[in-house]
Structure 1
């Protein structure tokens, strides 16, 4: 501090109570009434409460410089009792309601400026260290917390009012002139911030609002009919008894707004397709597409734990077969699903891109196959952000994907992509076929197939799956009775799959694709004639408890018991009659160029005569149990329903995977 002369204070001899006169040089020194701060921040008047000066007057008397301080309860109207006083500077405190310009003070001349010190503190936003601090005076153009309020003709409350003491005995540093508050709450001093949507904060900065806004501390707009200076107390009643500069604020709970607030959870049946995933412990997850005939182990050799389900609530770890490989049941023994009170299934559905193994997010997917199809049908719904993962882009051909359903991989092609947008939600739908679709149009060229030398039907299929004598890499799992085909008897134009279908269909067979491998199975539509199904051991035995839904439809077909089957240019003419019948109901004659031997004629005739009489179409919807896995077409299923037992052959399979539920629907052909 500079070494300036000390301030001289003389007791007034004038008959003016509560007035002291200070005579000295201009007040340019900083007077510190608190010890030095430890945080290197200088805050003036942070804890200054008493004593205070309500009015400081710098005036000209016979002495050079005079500072007159009015100590409460003195009033500035007492200036009229000072003779020959010329006021150069008048500093007012909040408790002085004075109309300076209109005051009739004999002997007092105002020649300078009128200043107003409210000593209202505005803390630094985000770095407040004290409840309040001295605000710096701003003459104009500066933005500050205290501002002139716009006059409202009605509905405004007083900015300061007498409050009541808190009944809980809370001590505070305010003067004892405050009245007790009627509510059971109290606060020392706080700065209000903008609120909206009914959100409250303990401390906030008040900002100006267009309506229904109340600030804890602000400067009032001058009243035209009674006030002639810019700053005054906002008390419209002008009662002299109000001398408090600060008071307890009453929390305003309406009309407040804030850019940021604390939200309250709304439990209103919200549902989202996405959820926050729990990051697994550090580990490595590799997607490996199994390639037969290498056996797939139950656990992939890895020292890392891969959690495929949510954390158990009972504290137990349940280890499952990672690859979910169901061991094949011994030949001749059916898979019997036991009757349980609860069938517990842990489903796992994933979708990956074959080229780089990138995971593709999926909402739900479905796979379907029937006896008249030679490829798995594929359909999936993805989020819109996954479009780049399945779009072909500049690559030739569709994107190849691997859909894994409970450990069974399906390699499919995303052939068709469509986009659908609902308000607030966008998704894309992709559809396609299994990987053996590359053997058909539009990926396979149109070719002419023939045999220049005698071959068997099995060898004809191997010849079809070659280009200039080089195999395409596809294997044939032959399940028919083979027969010889003379040279020149086979002539077919079309794709590879067209030729394979023609060969299998000649003997009443059809094609079953492998889900992921380059293999095609050839099976007869009726491995056993329906009138001999009493000797068949079913592949699966399903109780009614394991089936969620059953639907039955009865069909009536012609009761043929005899059919003629013939070759075309070369071959045989076969007459196939159902044993034990008169053979009097003749079916339309069948002519096929590949019926060149009796073995082919007999298999084709059984397929014609088996699809006759009274039939039952049964639809069974059941979960994807670990005992059964995915039941494909061609499997014999025995369905037990109380005292009724039905045996049928699966003609269609549809898998619907929409996590967490995975269902398979079987179309079973049975006979009454």
Structure 2
């Protein structure tokens, strides 16, 4: 602490150190290894306030810990009216005698102001609490039934034995009445004349027996056959089409013959094991690698965030693995015979994290959109999880596709039911849709003083001067905008899109964080793509489907770009051309400097000439992840290697398959 005293007036100057300091423990550690923060803790704030009476007017002296009240002894003749201290400041106070400070006259009272948060300062509200026990007024849907033997009604009861009047098709005992006895099948009776059955025992009457087949009678005279035994007589002139064949020996040929044995050497990965020779074999078992500790032993506690309201200490692993920063090298997908991908798709509700069952899922984004599109098909039982309450915003969901999180809003909900099945369809936009209609109000944006284009975006993302919590990742060349040159009416996202479009840019939303990226439609002019290092290199083996379409656009090579009231007039011409093909003039109020005019003119002249629209369908590989618009992709078109700029991305997740389709813009 630095103390500066000036008379006749007294002033105290305090120098406070940085908020991240080391904790110094003045007591040995406890045996249970718990950290106990007691009254000795001093927060970095003004804790000691002393009001004193001098020959001059009453002044206020502020001490910042770790100051001690003994410093008052350095001011002789000081009369203290009131003293406000924290318990962390050591001070001896007598009963009724005030503070014992040498050289200081104390005439008032000593009060300790402890600004330490107690566990009972705030209350935690939740939907469930400890129920109170009550023993009266219990109601339930089921109770013990009263025994009422009379008045029962049932559909079934025991039958009464009635020997007479039983009428049914099958009596329990058949009456032995040979006459007038009819049944479907029964034992045939030996009445050959009066028995009415379709099948009965045949009578042994040889004369009246009829049968389709019977033993033939040995009557040689009346036997006629198509073929019969030939006449064995040696009559001359007997002709027969068939006769006894004579044996003829001929040579036979065949394509296959007995192979001659040929000794060949055999090779195999497995062979007969050889018994080990006598001796001692030492088997060394390799020890598993020791796991990397999450916390590095250190004697210092470094607090990287403010203390929470619940006074809990949250420790973050110091050895977490961060993705390496981009080094400018392209992501090259190797050529493999088989590409293995383990797909993982899930859907959860924010903020309680309830899992929402999903049947299929699709996400889409293009350069003309500022939010991800979202569609999903859910089972009918998941309808209560996505239907919002009355007067509330749509339910926010987190869709995870192979490790990439997408925060989306379930805006449109419909249900379809057919015989034997029912499904719920949900569609919506990314979480940055809260900056657009119907959630954002229509406002008027303007600048009363000179600002840059980047600062205009920061001003738009405020409400009455308070930031909305969204950040801008600026990727354009910034330029100055004079006062009152920017005036637009609409929502937040419409104002941001207007600022980006003035210089030929567009908004690229982040999938899960509150970040809006501003990118140029053509980071590099198409006629200079030969010097571009691609972000991804895709072989033809990794692409499941490819389609091409040629487009012919006017070959402009010159365009005029102008502002309005306080703008500039820029003439942008493609280098190396005569500038004889003039594009329509572009007028925008935010083109106030040459940097804005050059970027807008590049966007106009780059979207000309013969172009190729390529559609590439490939899995979400671990090397590439989900490729977003704005990335340069190098792919193979037969024997030609082409370079294109991704303009759209569509992800289709229908377990167990997950595919992404890239819309790539190339130039011939």
- Compute the TM-score of the two structures, normalised by the length of structure 1: 0.54
Alignment pair present for 1:407 and 2:360 = no
Structure 1 pair 382–142 and aligned structure 2 pair: CA distance change class (3 A): farther
Partner of 1:380: 376
Partner of 1:585: 581
Give the alignment partner of residue 500 of structure 1, picking from 486, 496, 508: 496
CA distance in 2, matches of 1:655, 1:443: 26
Provide the secondary structure at the position in 1 that maps to 2:473: strand
Provide the secondary structure at the position in 2 that maps to 1:554: strand
Partner of 2:172: 219
CA distance in 2, matches of 1:363, 1:141: 59
Partner of 1:58: none
Structure 1 pair 468–142 and aligned structure 2 pair: CA distance change class (3 A): farther
CA offset at residue 571 of structure 1?
1.1
Stretches of structure 1 that go unaligned for 5 or more consecutive residues are 1-137, 153-217, 229-233, 240-292, 295-300, 303-322
Q: Could you tell me whether the CA contact under 8 Å between 1:400 and 1:411 is conserved in 2?
A: yes
Matching of residues 35-434 of structure 1 within 5 Å: 141=160, 150-151=168-169, 219-222=172-175, 327=323, 330-434=326-430
Structure 1 pair 226–454 and aligned structure 2 pair: CA distance change class (3 A): same
Measured on the aligned residues, the alpha-carbon RMSD in Å equals 2.8
Structure 1 pair 139–521 and aligned structure 2 pair: CA distance change class (3 A): closer
Give the alignment partner of residue 445 of structure 1, picking from 441, 457, 460: 441
Q: Could you tell me whether the CA contact under 8 Å between 1:550 and 1:621 is conserved in 2?
A: yes
Q: Could you tell me whether the CA contact under 8 Å between 1:633 and 1:650 is conserved in 2?
A: yes
Q: Deviations over 1:85-124 (max 9, x none)?
A: xxxxxxxxxxxxxxxxxxxxxxxxxxxxxxxxxxxxxxxx
CA offset at residue 641 of structure 1?
3.5
CA distance in 2, matches of 1:220, 1:605: 108
CA offset at residue 428 of structure 1?
1.1
Q: Could you tell me whether the CA contact under 8 Å between 1:149 and 1:219 is conserved in 2?
A: no
| Moved segments of 4+, more than 3 Å | 147-152, 221-228, 234-239, 325-330
CA distance in 2, matches of 1:389, 1:365: 16
CA distance in 2, matches of 1:139, 1:430: 58
Q: Could you tell me whether the CA contact under 8 Å between 1:148 and 1:220 is conserved in 2?
A: no
CA distance in 2, matches of 1:444, 1:626: 37
Q: Could you tell me whether the CA contact under 8 Å between 1:326 and 1:629 is conserved in 2?
A: no
Structure 1 pair 435–142 and aligned structure 2 pair: CA distance change class (3 A): farther
Matching of residues 449-488 of structure 1 within 5 Å: 449-488=445-484
CA distance in 1, matches of 2:551, 2:540: 23
CA distance in 1, matches of 2:158, 2:327: 100
CA offset at residue 640 of structure 1?
1.9
Provide the secondary structure at the position in 1 that maps to 2:407: strand
Give the alignment partner of residue 536 of structure 1, picking from 507, 523, 532: 532
CA offset at residue 385 of structure 1?
1.2
Provide the secondary structure at the position in 2 that maps to 1:568: coil
Structure 1 pair 461–227 and aligned structure 2 pair: CA distance change class (3 A): same
Alignment pair present for 1:599 and 2:595 = yes
Structure 1 pair 337–236 and aligned structure 2 pair: CA distance change class (3 A): same
Partner of 2:8: none
CA offset at residue 384 of structure 1?
1.1
CA offset at residue 419 of structure 1?
1.2
CA offset at residue 393 of structure 1?
2.5
Q: Deviations over 1:174-216 (max 9, x none)?
A: xxxxxxxxxxxxxxxxxxxxxxxxxxxxxxxxxxxxxxxxxxx
Q: Could you tell me whether the CA contact under 8 Å between 1:631 and 1:653 is conserved in 2?
A: yes
Alignment pair present for 1:562 and 2:558 = yes
- Compute the TM-score of the two structures, normalised by the length of structure 2: 0.54
CA distance in 2, matches of 1:223, 1:511: 100
Q: Deviations over 1:124-147 (max 9, x none)?
A: xxxxxxxxxxxxxx996169xxx9
CA offset at residue 422 of structure 1?
2.4
CA distance in 1, matches of 2:569, 2:166: 111
Q: Deviations over 1:368-397 (max 9, x none)?
A: 000000000000011111111101122511
CA distance in 1, matches of 2:573, 2:377: 50
CA distance in 2, matches of 1:529, 1:538: 14
Provide the secondary structure at the position in 1 that maps to 2:615: strand
CA offset at residue 642 of structure 1?
4.2
What number of residue pairs does the alignment pair up? 382
Structure 1 pair 493–220 and aligned structure 2 pair: CA distance change class (3 A): same
CA distance in 1, matches of 2:628, 2:428: 19
